[in-house]
Amino acid sequence: MTQPKLVIVGSIGIDHIETPSEKKENLLGGSASYACAAASFFTPSAMVGVVGDDFPAEFLELYQKFSVDLEGLQKRKGRTFSWSGVYEENMDNRETLETVLGVFENFEPVLPESYQDATHVFLGNMAPELQLLVLEQMHDPMFVMADTMDLWINIAREKLLEVIGKVHMLTLNESEARLLTGAHNLVDAAHELLKLGPVYVLVKKGEHGSMLFSQTHTYIQPAYPLRAVQDPTGAGDCFAGALMGWLASKNACSATEIRQAMVRGSVVASFGVEAFSLDRLAALTPEEIRERTQDLLAMMSPEET
């Protein structure tokens, strides 16, 4: 593989998931898995993460199907990160039954030299100190997006604020935006976050889509409406991966191009939740993405189609 344009750093896991209709064990999961798979429809990505010696060979083969560069994947003795959870009837709320950090507990991302000149970087949800370690190894990327969660807001706020000050886009959900800023109004919260340094703040709203904020503009991106969701795990990472894959493929980072990327993110994420793990993405075709993209654009602006 040639020097990658897009580097994705995050967790790689083995998931055990129960929904109201089905229960599945030993599924490929983790933020890096979903994001790399989603990005692959627009550009190949380079994965930085860690797995244990129990990681199935067929999962590595699946990464190759998605043209993921695995030079940055560390293999360590021990258990791979694992998550077990149960979804409620609405498929929005979920209960974590067990989290086993395994080799991810002592993970320190090391970027191969070929990754360090990548133009686009997605820092998946992980400890801010690890996100900072990745940024220290990069050579002036064009566009960096970082994800986070309430855990890091509560236990590693200072390091998280340092990360936010170094990235071009921060992505988080509504409750996390409010927790981090103390502002209940989402617009107020987003503008408080913009003061911390990023050019953009992307607020994820689940089945209601997402909102992009800058100092001068606000953009609302609807989710693609589905009749049924099979497994919502990884939807946000699919969205982020496709968004970053689109931007990297265009060598872009302008507001207009980010909006175009958000449409592709919504579309790819909508396919991802139609089956467990990466199963739907593994069967997905570029033509299906094009057709659903046109459908979504028609829903957003019918007079322009």
**pLDDT at 148 > cutoff 60:** yes
Integer CA distances (angstroms), 269 to 55, 112, 173, 242, 299, in order: 25, 29, 16, 8, 17
| Per-residue pLDDT tens digits for 222-253 | 999 999 899 999 999 999 999 999 999 999 89
Is there a domain that residue 81 lies in?
yes
Structure-block tokens of residue 103? 């080799």
How many structural domains is the chain composed of? 1
Q: CATH number, domain at 295?
A: 3.40.1190.20
Query: Which residues form the domain of 217?
Result: 6-304
**pLDDT at 159 > cutoff 80:** yes
The mean pLDDT of the chain is 95
Is there a domain that residue 83 lies in?
yes
| Per-residue pLDDT tens digits for 164-217 | 999 999 999 999 999 999 999 999 999 999 999 999 999 999 888 999 999 999
| Per-residue pLDDT tens digits for 48-74 | 999 999 999 999 999 999 999 999 999
The label of the residue with tokens 């409750």 reads 175
| Per-residue pLDDT tens digits for 277-299 | 999 999 999 999 999 999 999 99
The angle formed by the CA atoms of residues 109, 234 and 87, to the nearest 5 degrees, is: 130
What average pLDDT does this structure show over 29-42? 98
**What whole-number distance in Å separates Cα of residue 244 and Cα of residue 258?**
9
* Res 305: pLDDT: 42
**What whole-number distance in Å separates Cα of residue 245 and Cα of residue 250?**
9
Would you tell me how many other CB atoms lie within 10 Å of the CB of residue 299?
Answer: 12
Is there a domain that residue 1 lies in?
no
Is there a domain that residue 11 lies in?
yes
What average pLDDT does this structure show over 104-113? 96
Residue type, 247: L
